[in-house]
C-alpha cells in the first residue's frame, strides 16, 4: 500500500468517526416561539416535587391551580376555579370550577381531581414537601404523622364542579397559598399511579409536554383544550442551563426570551442600556446571618448585638450588591403587604460598648476567634470578606472565613456545628409570619439555638388576629423581640432581576417574583 493512500485512509477514518457520532447525537429542534432560560434541570415535573424555582416555573406552564395571581398586583384571579366564597371566620371555603376546564387529553377537569391531588400531597408516603402548605386543612397534621389515612383530609367534591375545604385554623394568606405550583389538580390514570416515568404527562394548564431531553430542554406545546389557548405562543422551550452568563449570551443573540438568573456583575451595565429588557424589582426575601447561640461567647446577647450593630450595611451594599437590594435591619421584608420599614440601626460606638459589656459578663478578656461559614458563590464570598473587614475594624475581632459547598453548609448548620453562618429566607406568600415562623423555638429551620417562649407566644397570638393594622402591629412587636436578641442578623432584602424580551407582554413585576403564563401573552 502506498504511503499516500495509507495517510488518506487514516485521515478518512478520523473524519468518518466524529461525523458519524455527531450525526447520532444531533437533534435539530427549531427555535420555539417562546424560550425560557430556566436554570437547573427541573428535578421532576410532578407538581408534588415542585418546591424549587425551576420546577415551579415549568409546573406553572403545565398546570392550572384553583387561583392564579395577577403578575403585577398579585391579586388572586380565577384559575381552574371560576369563583369562590368563604365563611366569615375563613375556615370553610367553596370553589366553583369552570365548566370549560379540560385536561390536555380532552377530558374535563373535575373537583375530584383536586381532592386526589391534595390527598396525595398530604400523604406521608408521597414525600412531598409542599404538604407544609396544607397543614391547616382539617386533619392534615394527623395524616402527616400517620394517625389518620389521607381520605380523612378536610376536602370534598360534592359535585364535579364544586370543591369544598375546611380548615382547622385560618392560614395567613390562603388564596395566594392556593396559587402555589404544587397545589394543582392531578389526573389519576387507570393504573392509579400518576406521573409514571415513560407515560405522557397529562396537564390542565396552558401547555402540555411535547418532548423532553434531560439537561437540554422541555418542549411545550399549547394545550389546545385550554379556553385561552389562542392567546399563547404555539410552542415554548424550557431550557435547562445553569450558567447565568451562557443564558445572558443567548438572550443577547435572541436565542432566549426570558432569563431568570443574571450574573450580578452585569446588572448595572444592563440597566444602563435602558431598553426595558431588564426588569428589576424589590423582592420579599432576606439575606441574614445565623448566630449559633449555643456557643459560649455567642450565647451572650450583648456580644451578638455588638456583631449586629457593628456592620455597616450601606457600605456593604455599595461594595457587594448589584443595586436593587435594600439594606435590612428587620427580618421581614418591607414589601409584605402594609408592613413597616425600619431605619438602619448600624452604630459602631454602641457596638463597642456592648462588646465590652458582654465580655465582662462572660468573664472574657477578648472574644475567641469566630468562624463565618457560607456557601460557594462569588456574592457570598464578597459579603463574607466585607463582614470580616468590618468586624475587624469596628470591634477588633478576628473572624475566619469558611467557604463550603451548599450541602455541607446546610449539614453543618443543621447539626449546630458553626459559629456564624450565611442564611436566607424567601417569602412563600405576602404575610410577615412566613419570616417570623422560621425562628419559633420548635421550627426546623431556626437552627440558631434561639428559643424564646415569649417570642413564640407573641408570634402565635399575633398571627391569630384578624387581618388588619392591629395584627401587623402585633407581629411587628414580635419581630422587635427577635431582632433585639440578635440570634439572626439581617443584612439585606433581595431584589429580583429578570431579562425579558420586548416580544413578551404581561410579564409584570412583583415582590414574590412570580410570573404566571396565564398573564403572559405573545407580543408582536
Partner 1 sequence: MHLSFPNSVTLLITSLVVVALSRTGSRLKHSRPLTAFLARRLAATFITVIVVHACAFALMRAVPGGPFDTDPRMDPIVRANLVARYGLDRPWIESWLSSLGGVFRADFGPSMAWRDNSATEILGAGFPVSAALGALALFFAIVIGVPSGIVAATQRGKWIDPVIRSVSSVGLAVPNFLVATVLISVFGFGLRWLPVAGFGTWRHAILPAFALSLPVAAALARLVRTGLLIELPKDHVRTARAKGLSPLRVLWVHALPGALGPAVAYIGPAAATILTGSLVIESMAAIPGMGTHFVSAAMNRDYPLALGAVVIYTTLVSLFNVFADLAHARLDPRIRL
Task: Kindly list the residues in this chain that would bind partner 1 in the complex (CB under 8 A).
Answer: 3-4, 6-7, 14-15, 17-18, 20-22, 24-29, 41-46, 49, 51-52, 124-125, 127-129, 131-132, 144-145, 195, 197, 213-216, 239-243, 245-247, 249-250, 252-253, 255, 405-408, 410-412, 414, 444-445
Length of the chain in terms of residues written: 524
Q: Which is nearer to partner 1, 24 or 469 (CB)?
A: 24
Cβ(75)–Cβ(92) below 8 Å: no
Q: Which is nearer to partner 1, 213 or 224 (CB)?
A: 213
In whole angstroms, the minimum distance from the beta carbon of 366 to partner 1 comes to: 31
Q: Which is nearer to partner 1, 256 or 281 (CB)?
A: 256
Q: Which is nearer to partner 1, 110 or 404 (CB)?
A: 404
All three cell numbers of 431? 404575610
Q: Which is nearer to partner 1, 52 or 348 (CB)?
A: 52
Q: What angle do CA 13, 15, 17 make, to 5 degrees?
A: 70
All three cell numbers of 218? 422541555
In whole angstroms, the minimum distance from the beta carbon of 252 to partner 1 comes to: 7
In whole angstroms, the minimum distance from the beta carbon of 108 to partner 1 comes to: 26
Q: Which is nearer to partner 1, 21 or 265 (CB)?
A: 21
In whole angstroms, the minimum distance from the beta carbon of 430 to partner 1 comes to: 17
In whole angstroms, the minimum distance from the beta carbon of 1 to partner 1 comes to: 10
Cα–Cα separations (whole angstroms), residue 233 to 97, 223, 227, 378, 431: 25, 11, 14, 37, 34
Burial class of 514 by CB neighbour count within 10 A (0 to 12, 13 to 18, 19+): buried
Closest by Cα among 105, 337, 78 to 226: 105
Cα–Cα separations (whole angstroms), residue 460 to 60, 170, 222, 465, 475: 32, 12, 45, 9, 9
In whole angstroms, the minimum distance from the beta carbon of 435 to partner 1 comes to: 13
Q: Which is nearer to partner 1, 46 or 113 (CB)?
A: 46
Q: How many CA atoms lie within 13 A of 26 on its CB side?
A: 8
Cα–Cα separations (whole angstroms), residue 39 to 129, 256, 496: 21, 12, 15
In whole angstroms, the minimum distance from the beta carbon of 250 to partner 1 comes to: 5
Cα–Cα separations (whole angstroms), residue 410 to 401, 407, 414, 419, 442: 16, 5, 6, 13, 18
Amino acid at each position: 500500500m502506498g504511503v499516500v493512500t495509507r495517510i488518506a485512509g487514516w485521515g478518512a477514518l478520523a473524519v468518518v468517526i466524529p461525523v458519524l457520532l455527531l450525526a447520532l447525537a444531533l437533534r435539530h429542534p427549531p427555535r420555539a416561539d417562546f424560550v425560557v432560560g430556566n436554570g437547573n434541570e427541573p428535578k421532576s415535573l410532578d407538581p408534588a416535587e415542585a418546591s424549587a424555582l425551576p420546577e415551579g416555573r415549568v409546573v406553572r406552564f403545565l398546570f392550572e391551580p384553583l387561583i392564579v395571581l395577577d403578575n403585577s398586583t398579585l391579586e388572586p384571579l380565577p384559575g381552574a376555579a371560576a369563583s369562590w366564597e368563604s365563611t366569615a371566620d375563613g375556615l370553610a371555603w367553596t370553589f366553583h370550577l369552570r365548566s370549560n376546564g379540560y385536561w390536555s387529553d380532552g377530558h374535563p377537569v373535575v373537583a375530584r381531581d383536586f381532592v386526589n391531588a391534595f390527598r396525595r400531597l398530604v400523604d406521608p408516603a408521597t414525600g412531598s414537601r409542599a404538604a407544609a402548605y396544607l397543614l391547616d386543612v382539617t386533619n392534615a397534621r394527623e395524616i402527616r404523622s400517620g394517625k389518620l389515612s389521607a381520605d380523612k383530609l378536610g376536602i370534598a367534591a360534592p359535585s364535579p364542579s364544586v370543591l369544598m375545604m375546611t380548615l382547622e385554623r385560618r392560614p395567613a394568606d390562603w388564596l395566594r397559598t392556593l396559587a402555589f405550583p404544587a397545589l394543582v389538580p392531578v389526573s389519576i390514570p387507570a393504573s392509579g399511579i400518576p406521573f409514571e416515568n415513560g407515560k405522557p404527562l397529562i396537564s390542565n394548564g396552558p401547555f402540555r409536554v411535547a418532548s423532553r431531553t434531560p439537561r437540554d430542554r422541555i418542549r411545550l406545546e399549547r394545550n389546545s383544550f385550554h379556553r385561552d389557548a389562542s392567546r399563547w405562543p404555539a410552542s415554548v422551550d424550557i431550557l435547562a442551563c445553569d450558567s447565568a452568563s451562557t443564558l445572558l449570551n443567548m438572550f443577547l443573540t435572541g436565542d432566549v426570551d426570558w432569563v431568570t438568573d443574571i450574573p450580578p456583575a452585569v446588572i448595572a451595565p444592563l440597566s444602563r442600556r435602558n431598553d426595558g429588557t431588564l426588569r428589576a424589582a424589590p423582592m420579599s426575601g432576606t439575606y441574614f446571618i445565623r448566630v449559633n447561640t449555643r456557643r459560649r461567647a455567642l450565647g451572650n446577647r450583648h456580644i451578638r448585638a455588638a456583631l449586629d450593630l457593628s456592620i455597616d450595611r450601606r457600605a456593604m451594599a455599595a461594595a457587594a450588591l448589584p443595586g436593587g437590594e435594600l439594606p435590612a435591619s428587620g427580618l421581614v421584608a418591607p414589601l409584605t403587604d402594609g408592613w413597616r420599614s425600619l431605619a438602619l440601626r448600624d452604630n459602631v460606638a454602641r457596638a463597642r460598648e456592648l462588646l465590652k459589656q458582654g465580655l465582662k459578663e462572660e468573664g472574657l478578656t477578648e472574644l475567641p476567634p469566630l468562624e463565618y461559614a457560607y456557601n460557594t458563590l462569588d456574592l457570598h464570598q464578597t459579603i463574607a470578606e466585607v463582614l470580616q473587614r468590618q468586624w475587624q475594624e469596628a470591634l477588633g475581632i478576628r473572624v475566619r472565613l469558611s467557604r463550603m459547598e451548599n450541602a455541607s453548609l446546610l449539614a453543618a448548620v443543621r447539626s449546630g456545628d458553626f459559629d456564624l453562618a450565611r442564611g436566607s429566607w424567601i417569602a412563600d406568600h405576602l404575610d410577615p409570619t412566613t419570616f417570623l415562623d422560621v425562628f419559633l423555638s420548635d421550627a426546623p429551620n431556626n437552627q440558631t439555638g434561639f428559643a424564646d417562649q415569649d417570642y413564640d407566644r407573641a408570634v402565635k397570638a399575633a398571627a391569630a388576629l384578624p387581618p388588619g393594622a392591629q395584627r401587623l402591629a402585633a407581629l411587628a412587636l414580635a419581630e422587635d423581640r427577635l431582632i433585639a436578641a440578635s440570634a439572626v442578623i439581617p443584612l439585606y432584602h433581595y431584589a429580583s432581576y429578570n431579562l425579558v424580551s420586548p416580544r413578551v407582554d404581561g410579564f409584570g413585576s412583583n415582590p414574590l417574583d412570580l410570573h404566571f403564563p396565564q398573564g403572559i401573552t405573545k407580543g408582536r
